[in-house]
Amino acid sequence: MGLSSTTKTEIQRPVGNLFIFTTIAIALLLNGLPWDGYGLMLRPDFVAMMLLYWCMHKPMRIGIGMSWAVGIFADVADASLFGQHALTYTLLAFGGVVLHRRLQMFDLRQQTTQVFGLFVLSYTVYASVHWLVDGDVVWGYFLGCLTSTLLWIPLSLALHALRQIRVSRER
């Protein structure tokens, strides 16, 4: 048959360490923006989102140890209780690494509901540490896990688009 059809296939580019570290550094800078009032309560944890994304997609490169190191750096940068972010990011990375096959099996809408549970876990750790240190829990900060979950789809689509090559193939 003399008809030629053109199809587009998608190929994922190999991700370099520089790209991964750049995205995590940008997330750290976004977490460092001066938020106050309701904006502080609604602020998503950009570092947690980025670490979870990379733990899901590249668990051999970004894992629990790297998440702990980024968490220590976030503690110093945020001037918060030393080890709070490290503990939270370590637990989040553990969930991302252990569940990475399961999470990749879902489409983005279904994946978002699974990721919401991991973000609730991380915010529960923040609240627990804050409760142990100060004796009270700021319930408004749990709104941050909602905004983190709502930003999961745009983040995934953006990073997927950056890693994608479209190849035109003629048959």
Question: What mean pLDDT is predicted for residues 75-104?
Answer: 91
The whole-angstrom separation of Cα 6 and Cα 62 is 37
Could you count the other beta carbons within 10 Å of the beta carbon of residue 78?
A: 14
Per-residue pLDDT, 3: 46
Most confident of 29-33, 100-104, 131-135, 139-143: 29-33
Can you give 8-48 as a three-state secondary structure string? EEEEECCCCHHHHHHHHHHHHHHHCCCCCCHHHHHCCCHHH
Q: How many CA atoms lie within 13 A of 158 on its CB side?
A: 9
Per-residue pLDDT, 20: 93
pLDDT tens digits along 67-79: 999 999 999 988 8
80 vs 12, which has greater pLDDT?
80
Per-residue pLDDT, 162: 86
**pLDDT level of residue 10 (50, 70, 90 thresholds):** low
Domain definitions of the chain by residue range: 31-162
Q: How far is CA 115 from the centre of its chain?
A: 9
Q: What is the pTM of this model?
A: 0.86
Per-residue pLDDT, 16: 86
